[in-house]
Amino acid sequence: MRSVPIVHLTQIDYVVMAVYFVVVLGVGWLLRHVMRTSTDFFLSGRSLPPWVTGLAFISANLGAQEVIGMGASGAKYGIATSHFYWVGAIPAMVFVGLFMMPFYYGSRARSVPEYLKLRFDEKTRTLNAVSFAVMTIFSSGISMYAMGKLFNLLLGWSFDVSVLVSAAIVLAYVLLGGLTSAIYNEVLQFFLIVFGFAPLVWLGMRAVGGWDGLVARLGEVATARGLPADAYTHAWQTMGNAAQNPVGVEWFGLVMGLGFVLSFGYWCTDFLVVQRAMAADSMTAARRTPLIAAVPKMLFPFLVILPGMIALVLGAAHGAGQGLIPAKLSAAGTPLVDSAGRVVLDYDLATPMMLVRLFPSGMLGVGLTALLASFMSGMAGNVTAFNTVWTYDIYQSHIRRGASDAHYLWMGRAATVGGIALSVGAAYVAGAFNNIMDLLQLVFAFVNAPLFATFALGMFWRRTTGHGAFVGLLAGTIGAAVHHGLTLPAGAPVGVKGGYLAVLHVYPSELAQTFWTAIVAWVTCVVVTILVSLATRPRPDEELRGLVYALTPRPSERELRWLERPWVLGAAVLVLTAALNFVFF
């Protein structure tokens, strides 16, 4: 038994996909002669304009988890999913542009782990490099797995062929054009997402009677599920009580866990996105990169969240709350039900089902190509980050020091092949464990939360020591594990989702548990880092110039027009984001 029928594409749909493949491979082919040094291959020679790096900065985060996952969250949580953008992204993007890029770009570090080496020591760098390399491989593999399963389900394509062909295409254009090829293809992917999803939202809104019609239908769903009528269409009004909103978290856990710890931990320290800003052609361009990216980022909820919200009610009976979203199937092919006897929905299929239902031939090809581009972009982004960290922070530092630049360029290409191969393996691992996505999100909370604490203390408190940073990172991760082991989300069995030490607290949802796990990790890392740093000897100030805020000259903006100054752009972005929060309060 299948949850959805197979869709048969027309010739024009295949033509659209073929054109996309030709273009992405053509970009790599045209850039092959530019890749003369390792800096060209790993950092685009630090030569790209800010509008390119800005679009790549946002597109690097527009992989499978974003496009499919945010549509799924829109169907599951409603407009509250916008918190992942307006609270959980924009403030951190402004912060990294205004405060952190001067350290990353000004120190001439080639990666985030290398900055940790410059600021602290080799052991802190290595700890971050190894954990980041493992995460990128798993993240890339999950993109492959999600793509293979989706196209197998919708189109009947072979899972193996889908994974291997996409891996071969990504390998080809990254191997030829390095980071530059990945960045220009991310820019192409950005426009594909916009042109592929904007008509989808317009058609969907028209089908449900506009915003008023959507509000009315979602109000019926919310009421049927025991929530206030506005729970799916207001972002803040029901955040006073975790039981009164579909996310299952109160405002403090949301703001502190998502808006501060997880958000800043990702956007400020994850080399996958920071690498795009490092490829900019100047300090000013590097600072403007995340600020330029923040402008479309604040509007993306309307492209990726609304399709999921519409899918929940489109074609459904009043209050039914299923719409186009099929049920999850058991191994026997029967619909799964929860402990309350309700059908478990496969929310990940919300956006794909909207594409299949509303798009005619030709437009369906554009929409599916946009999805395909997001999957492949996610792979390419992770692989380019992996090959850089592997070559500079692991291979050059611990295996082969003092080799020629040509050798490291060769190793970067070899690491690209190895990274793709490991990602394919991770895709099959993901297929063997149904909860691998939940596990990966939890790993991000374990790793990124304490890492942000380490960066914040290192950049803004000169007394922080290498021993303090290293012990704090380990303690933060252990603290997250202890908290996770003592808590459970409601309805979950003891095991990978927590409770393996004891069950001292039950959270209303997995997101609530993840947010508080991140908070515990961050606080633990801060406290331990401060205590160990006070007990150990700091480095002299002259060694920290350009690495600590108090010892780094402020970038001059006097030669820039006021509209071009990062502070002006950052303030404008924050004001517009606050306005969006107010409109959907």
pLDDT single digits (tens) 148-160: 888 887 788 888 8
Dist. CA 322–CA 337, nearest whole Å: 13
Least confident of 55-69, 88-102, 139-153, 437-451: 437-451
d(CA 238, CA 260): 20
* Segment 571-581 mean pLDDT: 93
The mean pLDDT of 514-528, rounded to a whole number, is 94
pLDDT digits (tens, 9 = 90+) for 32-42: 888 888 888 88
Q: Does residue 441 surpass a pLDDT of 80? A: no
Dihedral angle of Cα 372, 373, 374, 376, to the nearest 10 degrees: 90
Q: Are 504 and 155 in contact (CB under 8 A)?
A: no
Average pLDDT over residues 280-285: 87
> CB-based contacts of 407: which residues, under 8 Å, 6+ apart?
400
* Nearest Cα residue to 308 out of 70, 573, 528, 520: 70
Closest CA to 513 of 247, 268, 132, 246: 247
pLDDT band at 27 (very low <50, low <70, confident <90, very high): confident
8 Å CB contact between 250 and 242: yes
Segment 430-453 mean pLDDT = 71
Predicted local distance difference test score (pLDDT) of residue 434: 47
DSSP, residue by residue, 426-469? HHHHHHH-TTHHHHHHHHHHHHHHHHHHHHHHHHH-TT--HHHH
**pLDDT (tens digit per residue) in 351-388:** 888 888 888 888 888 888 888 888 888 888 889 999 99
Q: Is the pLDDT of residue 459 over 80?
A: yes
Say if CB 381 and CB 272 are below 8 A apart: yes
3-state helix, strand, coil in the chain (%, to 5): 70, 5, 25
Q: How confident is the model at residue 1 (pLDDT cuts 50, 70, 90)?
A: very low
What pLDDT does residue 323 have?
78
Would you state the pLDDT for residue 521? 94
Residue 265 CA from chain centroid, whole number: 11
Region of 48 (left: φ > 0; alpha: ψ -120 to 50; beta: rest) is beta
Check if the beta carbon of residue 4 is closer than 8 Å to that of residue 350.
no
**Average pLDDT of the residues in 310-337:** 73
CA distances from 403 to 44, 391, 400, 409 (A): 21, 12, 7, 10
Q: How far apart are CA 203 and CA 361, in angstroms?
A: 15
More confident residue, 6 or 128: 128
| Section 175-183 average pLDDT | 88
Instruction: Name the nearest CA neighbour of 222 among 230, 214, 211.
Output: 230
Q: Which phi and psi (to 5°) does residue 467 adopt?
A: -65, -40
C-beta neighbour count of 114 within 10 angstroms: 23
Q: Which residues pair with 505 in a beta bridge?
A: 487
CB 82 within 8 A of CB 235: yes
DSSP state of 282: S
The mean pLDDT value for 272-292 works out to 89
What are the sequence ranges of the domains in the chain? 11-31+43-432+554-583, 436-553
Query: At CB < 8 A and 24+ separation, what contacts does 357-362 make?
Result: 357/314, 357/315, 357/324, 358/200, 358/203, 358/204, 358/207, 359/199, 359/200, 359/203, 361/9, 361/10, 361/12, 361/13, 362/10, 362/12, 362/13, 362/16
Instruction: List pLDDT tens digits, range 81-135.
Output: 899 899 989 999 999 999 888 888 877 788 889 989 999 999 999 998 998 898 8
Q: At what angle do helices 64-77 and 306-313 cross, to 10 degrees?
A: 50
Lowest-pLDDT range of 11-25, 64-78, 126-140, 311-325: 311-325
Cα–Cα distance between 424 and 394 in angstroms, integer? 22
**What pLDDT was estimated at residue 307?**
92
- The amino acid sitting at 200 is L
For the CA atoms of 48, 563, 456, 517, what is the dihedral angle to 10 degrees? -90
For 294, residues 6+ apart whose C-beta sits below 8 A from its C-beta are 89, 90, 93, 94, 97, 573, 577
Nearest-Å Rg of the Cα atoms of the chain is 23
Report whether pLDDT(348) > 90.
no
Structure confidence by residue, pLDDT tens digits, 221-267: 888 888 888 889 998 988 888 888 888 888 888 888 888 888 898 88
- What is residue 111's predicted lDDT score, i.e. its pLDDT? 87
Residue 141 pLDDT level (bands cut at 50, 70, 90): confident
Q: Are 454 and 525 in contact (CB under 8 A)?
A: yes
Residues facing residue 335 across a β-bridge: 329
Enter the CATH code of domain 11-31+43-432+554-583: 1.20.1730.10
Q: What number of other Cβ atoms are within 10 A of residue 437's Cβ?
A: 16
- Of residues 319 and 34, the one with the higher pLDDT is 34
Q: What is the pLDDT of residue 257?
A: 87
pLDDT, position 529: 96
